[in-house]
Amino acid sequence: MKIAFTTSDRVHINAHFGWAKMIDVYEITDEGYHFVETLTFEGELKEDGNEDKITPKLESIGDCTIIYVTAIGGSAAARLIKKGVTPVKARSEEEEISEVLNKLVKTLKGNPPPWLRKALQPKTTNFADEIEDEATV
């Protein structure tokens, strides 16, 4: 599965979802993890009330299972959940991406907590997606 992290330094989870200029994406299994890519975003990202600024982020992390953030607005969180991406708040801006990844690998080897088991379930499609899939067959 893919895990995303909002970051300003590519080491710590230290960016608000809406304001993040970078999101690092990793692939993780119970065997380990590896870096996939850094997604970058430009423009006036700190403008409150501008819902358009999060649309490119939502689209670019749609294949991720979880995104770690320092903070996230309610509407952005709801839109992520609707896409099947679980937002998780970091404990602090000092929390390191590698620490979280190592803990997740250990957790995946054992008995994941209910929230993680739910996040790991295959994403369900909605009716509109099913119609679109049928139309392209």
* Residue 125: per-residue pLDDT: 55
Q: How confident is the model at residue 137 (pLDDT cuts 50, 70, 90)?
A: very low
Is the model's pLDDT at 67 over the cut of 90?
Answer: yes
For 96, other C-beta atoms within 10 Å of its C-beta total 15
pTM summary value: 0.82
Instruction: Measure Cα distances from 66 to 3, 17, 130 in Å.
Output: 5, 13, 23
What end-to-end distance do the CA atoms of the chain give, in Å? 26
What is the arithmetic mean of pLDDT over 90-108?
93
Query: Of the CATH numbers 3.20.20.70, 3.40.50.150, 3.90.1150.10, 3.30.420.130, which one belongs to the domain with range 2-120?
Result: 3.30.420.130
